[in-house]
A and B are shown apart, each in its own frame.
Chain A
């Protein structure tokens, strides 16, 4: 039996690129003077950090969709919940510096004439608690949701639809002021994180490097899962669910475990996203966001992990460029991209690149074989 190492060629490439990015981007920002073409400007750092957190979200989608066939169209919900947990911490850090200068209550609560902090806001002034909640809340929701759905054997498009309904329901709920999460406006006007001013260049570099580290960690975790026997069972479930059942595997437990893990990864991604963009509002629960995450994975190459990262980076870079240059066309491009990839590159960029590479290898070795008799003459 060939032992599959977690540190194979793909992992080494991914980790080296991430490490290089984490070092190079800050260096080019700090050490290269602004006039130079190699300078990375200040506003680019949180933008790139945002891409990295999206890549982590894409990774979490690929883990369940690419390897277990669970197409979640509601993963943005877990991302947003992780983001809200972080946002609540950041709100509590504002303290008396808010517009209404209430030492405890965030501005929106004062505005709503609330007299005291709702029970679920307690503890969020302590960073470790907020960090734990960024994992636990998405994890618990995924566990309860998955337990109900997988035990009732909801699969395929039906599952996709109810995940979509879940994120939509959460969006509507979070829009309400009574929910206690800032309603329509969400949470914003953050001042500092762990005592560091959130707008400062140094904090942004730290957040960027942390995002790269979290992505690398998430990638290795997913690699470990998919390379283990657990990963083999997941693929077995994806390809022949009832066969797996008749072999004695309790399919629902496997799905539940991986779905919960995936939701927690998405939560971490959301928690890293919020301090870098400076706001979290119910729009993050919008079904379109979840669908976009699926498109990233499809574009990069489903079931490859590295492809999910690549897809998230490429599509988001394209989105930034397009929404700047031709804003009204972006949604058409996104839709067109999905159709194009599905029809012509079903295995995504990574799959297409692999095919090209193998074709090239065959051509090259063919040439060499042809060349031999010629050389012998």
Chain B
């Protein structure tokens, strides 16, 4: 392999996004290592979702550098290309294909050919079935395999969407508020699942729930007004005067 081995998987430098003069991201810089999990916190409007939009190609930054694996310039690629590079995204509200069975949801997400003609001629292979079995097991939906995704509970949909991300075999997962609307037990289970995923992949978690962030037990970045306010272990960040002032409250 001649690929350069860089320590950073994702590298954002001086990224600015402005909507009609309002700077959603203001010279944001962030670096993420291979198999690192990072929690992003910050008040509403801090730019968390915009940052995800920039990384996944939904929003083009006005300026700045966004590099993946040190060589792919994400600002010049579209959503599908970025997904194929190995970046998966989970939305804030669980977004699954309601009319499809759980199994088909995962089937569509499985890494593989993405063109219309290969889809027309594709046949379901045993390998795919095995992968789907394993994923169903992992997100605890084996018993629901044939049900329509629209019939699942909110928490189950969140997990199905995480399962769909895993099916893509991404190098980086962007997870927006995975614990929103979940019971305490589900929240704890989700933290376990994400920690397990982060053993082999990089994960960025945007979250408001501080208990959940504490359970993740990873480096935390606090955003405010589109740039990094503080970064480090949760205890250090939550002791930071500015963080307390703008986000955690006194």
Residues of A within 8 A of B (CB): 1-3, 225, 228-230, 232-233, 235-236, 239-240, 242-251, 253-254, 257-258
Interface locus among B7-15, B38-46, B100-108, B191-199? B100-108
Is B212 positioned at the interface, with any CB of A under 8 Å from its CB? no
**Cα-based distance from A185 to B242 in the complex (angstroms):** 78
Q: Give the nearest-CB partner of A224 in chain B.
A: B120
Q: Nearest 6 CB-CB pairs, A to B?
A: A248-B83, A230-B119, A230-B120, A245-B79, A257-B116, A229-B119
A245 nearest in chain B by CB position: B79
Known: A1-B124, A228-B122, A246-B79. A235 touches B99 (CB 8 A): yes
Q: Which of A228, A240, A246 has the most CB of B within 10 A?
A: A246
Interface string of B70-82 (1 = CB under 8 A from A): 0000000001100
Q: Is the CB of B122 within 8 A of A240?
A: no
Chain B hits for A248, CB < 8 A? 80, 83-84, 114, 168
User: Which of B98, B99, B109, B119 contacts A247 (CB under 8 A)?
Assistant: B109
Chain A, residue nearest B164 (CB): A247
Interface size class of B (residues with CB under 8 A): 35 or more
- Asked if A253 contacts B116 (CB within 8 A), the reply is yes
Known: A228-B119, A245-B80. A250 touches B100 (CB 8 A): no
Q: In the complex, how many angstroms separate the beta carbon of A68 from the nearest chain B beta carbon?
A: 11
Q: Does B56 count as interface, using CB distance less than 8 angstroms?
A: yes
**Is there an interface contact between B114 and A236, defined as CB atoms closer than 8 Å?**
no
Complex contacts, B83 vs chain A, CB 8 Å: 245-248
Report whether B96 and A240 are in contact in the complex, using a CB–CB cutoff of 8 Å. yes
Taking a contact as CB atoms closer than 8 A, the residue among B91, B107, B168 that contacts A229 in the complex is B107
Q: Are B97 and A236 in contact (CB under 8 A)?
A: yes
B56 and A246: CB pair below 8 A? yes
CB distance from B168 to the nearest CB of A (A): 6
**B58, closest chain A residue (CB):** A242
Q: Is B18 an interface residue (CB 8 A)?
A: no
Give Cα distance in the complex from A229 to B108, angstroms. Answer: 8
- Total cross-chain contacts (CB, 8 A): 81
State how many angstroms separate the Cβ of A338 from the closest Cβ of chain B: 24
- The interface residues of chain A lying within 8 Å CB-to-CB of B128 are 1
Cα(A229)–Cα(B117), bound, Å: 10
Question: Does B60 have its Cβ within 8 Å of any Cβ on chain A?
Answer: no
Could you tell me if B84 and A1 are in contact, using CB atoms closer than 8 angstroms?
A: no
Given known contacts A1-B129, A235-B97, is B103 in contact with A250 (CB within 8 Å)? no
A243 partner, pick from B91, B114, B129, beta carbons under 8 A: B91
Query: Are A229 and B120 closer than 8 Å at their CB atoms?
Result: yes
Give the Cβ gap from A2 to chain B, nearest Cβ, in Å.
8
Inter-chain contacts of A244 with B (CB < 8 A): 108
List, in ascending order, chain A residues with CB within 8 A of B79's CB: 242, 245-246
Q: Which residue of B lies closest to A257 (CB)?
A: B116
Q: Which residues of B contact A253 (CB under 8 A)?
A: 115-116
**CB within 8 A of A3: which of B107, B108, B124?**
B124
Bound complex: CA of A257 vs CA of B88, how far in Å? 25
Bound-state CA distance A250–B122 (Å) is 17
Closest chain-B Cβ to A268's Cβ sits at a distance in Å of 19
Contacting residues, chain A, for B168 (C-beta < 8 A): 247-248
Q: Determine if A232 and B80 form an interchain contact, defined as CB atoms under 8 angstroms apart.
A: no
- Give the CA-CA distance A244 to B89 in the complex, in Å: 11
User: For residue B80, which residues in chain A have a CB less than 8 angstroms away from its CB?
Assistant: 245, 248-251
Q: Are A239 and B97 in contact (CB under 8 A)?
A: yes
B100 adjacent to A236 (CB under 8 Å): yes
Q: Do residues B88 and A225 form an inter-chain contact, with CB atoms below 8 A?
A: no
A235 B124 Cβ-Cβ under 8 A: no
A244 to B97, CA, bound (A): 9
Please name all residues of chain B whose beta carbon is closer than 8 Å to the beta carbon of A235 when the two chains form the complex.
97, 99-100
25 contacts between A and B (CB under 8 A): A228-B119, A228-B120, A229-B120, A232-B100, A232-B119, A235-B100, A236-B97, A239-B97, A240-B97, A242-B58, A242-B79, A242-B95, A243-B91, A243-B97, A245-B80, A246-B56, A246-B79, A246-B89, A247-B109, A248-B83, A249-B114, A250-B80, A254-B119, A257-B116, A257-B117
